[in-house]
Chains A and B, each alone.
Chain A
Amino acid sequence: MKAALIDLGLGNIASLHRALSHVGFHVEVTSEKESIGKAHVIVIPGVGSFQHGVSSLQKLGIEGFLRDLLSNGRPFLGICFGLHILCENSEESEKSLSGLGLIKGKVKKIEASSDFQVPRIGWSALLESNHSFLKVEPPQDKFYYCHSYQVEVQDEDTMVQYFDYDSQILAAVRKGNLTGFQFHPELSQGAGYHLLESYYDELKRGAYAH
């Protein structure tokens, strides 16, 4: 199965490339519409500030193309920035730059204090509830996060899952063909790789067939 990994030129995508390949994807690093159009899954990595990520996408001329592809059911995996870009807009940008608007939600700055440092950096398990859509096995597995902004979803069709250490911070979203992680599975050692393997298996079984 082919994964198109979009390179925004803003950071380390080697880890994600390696992780996706390892679990079975044939990974192509690309920003060409033709290649992206042929992929089974589109992946946007977690690199850079929101503003630069959005302007990189715009400079590549693929923003609208991606929006169409994704709203028509193409499977998508977004990590950190890749999750944020699904939303409508963000406070992070200096001008009012908007995301793809595929999920009704906002990207908001996490409030810092000397007791609650921001950026949030560390490892956390995910909160299990009746609404959990990610099967984390074992449930104590922890994932690495490194971010200053969080996503707030106001979309009834989106499933959400929170971090165990702070139930106010969203860890993962799923809306049909769209999957977003606030944490970095490619940097979460065995736990992260295991999660990506499950994701690969789900796709293989046709969970998001389009």
Chain B
Amino acid sequence: MPTKVRLIGSILIDRGWVVQSVGFHKRLPIGKPEITLRYLERWDVDELMVLDISRDRFERPFQFDESLRRWTKDCRTPVSAGGGILKMEHIQSVVRNGADRVVMNTALWEKPELVKEAARVFGRQAIIASVDLKTTDSGKWLLMKRSGTDQVHETLEDACRRLEDLGVGEIYLHSIDRDGSKRGFNLDAIHCVCGTLSIPVTVGGGFGGPEHIVKATRAGASGVSIGNALQFKEHSVDRIKSKTQQLDPELSIKRSVRFGYPEGEMHSSSEGIQ
């Protein structure tokens, strides 16, 4: 059986606007979510991830309803969405407005019963546990919640085992310190998690080139999330996939023979983007 990898195009939303983030601190505005998602889809990503990182998302009323519906209204690709989910109504809102799967981070520690119930109702394949990992200067791994502002006192291994038992369908392992750095994913952390679990693991934070995808899959990851690196560059997904395939010909990557445009036109990949 071939080793497969999925390429997830991720966008971060701050107050309705797509932003680029670096180390969870700097936030640079990019543009409108619906436009960014449309381009990512045209460029042959395998999945889309939309995360609301607005700092007030836990205080104000949940906003992933009309907005998310508008942003995803032309999508023909699996969409995962999250950001501030702490109640069942939030999950209902997200899935009824365009998301196929929900992403939770803070709730994993603050509302574990919600996570369990959500898996029971929606099926475990619909629940993604986003684990934010910070590596200290001394090389220690800290798990964080609330956009990296609050530390959680659980080891990575214990957390992942507990989350698998709780019923999540996938661990999305995100490196806070490597975010936006382009220096590659935290391979030791991937190894650690993949060795412990039998649910799929995807990784994010630090993508800088196709070699990082090859290394991540060899460490056990079944998907990689790319955010910052895809901004402003046309055809970048196709180039990344092509180079990754060259680096590891045994790796199975989806390469679309055609792109489906929101307007309904079907073009072959050789025609490119107009």
Interface residues of A (CB under 8 A from B): 10-12, 14-15, 18-19, 22, 47-52, 112-114, 116-119, 121-123, 138, 140-142, 144, 146-148, 165-166, 184, 186-194
Contact = CB atoms under 8 A, between A and B. Distances in A.
Given A146-B101, A184-B78, A191-B256, A119 B121 contact: no
B116 interface: no
Contact of A22 (B124, B254, B264): B264
A117 B257 contact: no
B200 A117 contact: yes
Majority secondary structure, A binding face: mixed
Nearest to A138: B257
A187 B75 CA distance: 8
Contacts of A119: 124-125, 169-170, 199-200
A27 to B, nearest CB: 15
A48 B199 contact: no
**Which of A18, A22, A49, A190 has most B Cβ within 10 Å?**
A190
Interface stretch (B17-25, B143-151, B190-198): B190-198
Interface in B1-60: 1-2, 4, 6, 41, 44, 46
Contacts of A165: 1-2, 4, 252
Contacts of A47: 95, 122-123, 126
Contacts of B186: none
Interface of B: 1-2, 4, 6, 41, 44, 46, 69, 72-79, 95-101, 120-126, 169-170, 194-195, 197-201, 220, 222-223, 252, 254, 256-260, 264, 266
A193 B258 CA distance: 11
Nearest to B200: A117
A79 to B, nearest CB: 12
A192 B76 contact: yes
Nearest to B75: A15
**Which of B72, B78, B95, B97 has most A Cβ within 10 Å?**
B78
Contacts of B256: 189-191
B99 A19 contact: no
A191 B142 CA distance: 42
A146 B200 CA distance: 11
Contacts of B72: 14
The 5 closest A-B pairs by CB, nearest first: A190-B260, A112-B198, A119-B125, A190-B258, A49-B123
